[in-house]
Amino acid sequence: MTSTSQQYRFVSAAKLPTRKGEFTIHGFVQDGTGVEHVALSYGSWQSDDVVPIRIHSECLTGDALFSTRCDCGFQLERAMENIVENGCGVLLYLRQEGRGIGLINKIRAYHLQDQGMDTVEANEHLGFDADMRTYEMCKVMLDKLNVKNVELMTNNPRKTAALKALDINVVARKPIDHGITKDNKHYIKTKTEKLGHAFDPHLLGD
């Protein structure tokens, strides 16, 4: 079996000034497939420090096109703000659009949701699992950045379990309840009820 370190490799890094602060962007590629992932780092730390991190799966519609039918773009923005406010941290940006089904299939799933399905039903109707994402690349990325102990910004327990399975010490989970709108409230409720995401029920309301 090919090891994770052989499957994913670091390519290059560069300064990335953003509206939130000046980050460094680190590029990684998966051998064989050419799939690319990036990490944004901010500040500095020692190897035994607890570093705030966010694992964020690519969402073109939410991150770049400002869609409000999901909470992805809101969470990306808040995670970057949290990292800068903390003085250091890492955002792992994974190319896993639509919980791993790809952009065009996500649009097909959106169409089914427009017809009345929820996000889980739509993915399964298209022949996919509810969540197709994997996280083994996070180990290579965090090792490269000398991050061993993390405070994970997430509402998704699968991400916590995935990092622990990779021998990454998740010291704490920090909720990232942000960006709940009338357009995505049903979507977030579905993630809570069917995928186990931990949102504050008071924010979701009735």
Rounded Cα gap, residues 61 and 156, in angstroms = 20
- Which residues are part of a known binding site for Zn(2+)? 59, 70, 72
Mean pLDDT of 142-147: 97
In a domain, 33, yes or no: yes
Tell me: do 120 and 137 sit in the same domain.
no
At a CB cut-off of 8 Å and minimum separation 6, what does 156 contact?
Answer: 195, 196, 197, 198
d(Cα 151, Cα 51) in Å, to the nearest integer?
A: 6
* Same domain flag for 46 and 119: no
Verify that 101 and 42 share a domain, yes or no: no
Q: Is residue 190 part of a domain?
A: yes
Alpha-carbon distance of 198 to 7, in angstroms, equals 32
Annotated binding site: which residue ranges? 54-59, 70, 72, 75, 97-99, 119, 154, 159
Contact 75, 56 (CB under 8 A): yes
pLDDT classification of 3: cutoffs 50, 70, 90: very low
Same domain, 35 and 119: no
DSSP classification of residue 164: H
Kindly state whether residues 123 and 166 are assigned to the same domain.
no
Residue 5 resides in a domain: no
**Catalytic (active-site) positions:** 131, 133
49 within a domain of the structure (yes/no):
yes
Give yes or no: residues 41 and 112 share one domain: no
**Res 205: pLDDT:** 53
Domain-embedded: residue 176: yes
Same-domain pairing of 101 and 46: no
Inform me whether the pLDDT recorded for 187 exceeds 80.
no
The range of the structural domain enclosing residue 116 comes to: 97-132
Same domain, 20 and 54: yes
Same domain, yes or no: 85 and 151:
yes
Place of tokens 């730390």: 45
Binding site members for GTP: 54-58, 75, 97-99, 119, 154, 159
Domain count, the chain: 2
**Structural contact between residues 186 and 180, judged by C-beta atoms closer than 8 angstroms:** no
* Residue 3 located in a structural domain: no
Q: Is residue 38 domain-shared with residue 65, that is, in the same domain?
A: yes
Indicate if 61 and 86 belong to the same structural domain.
yes
Specify if 79 maps to a domain. yes
Q: What is the pLDDT of residues 63-108, one digit of tens each?
A: 999 999 998 999 999 999 999 999 999 999 999 999 999 999 999 9
pLDDT per residue as tens digits for the range 24-34: 999 999 998 89
| Residues facing 14 on adjacent strands | 25
Q: What is the CATH number of the domain that holds 166?
A: 3.40.50.10990
Query: Is there a domain that residue 205 lies in?
Result: no
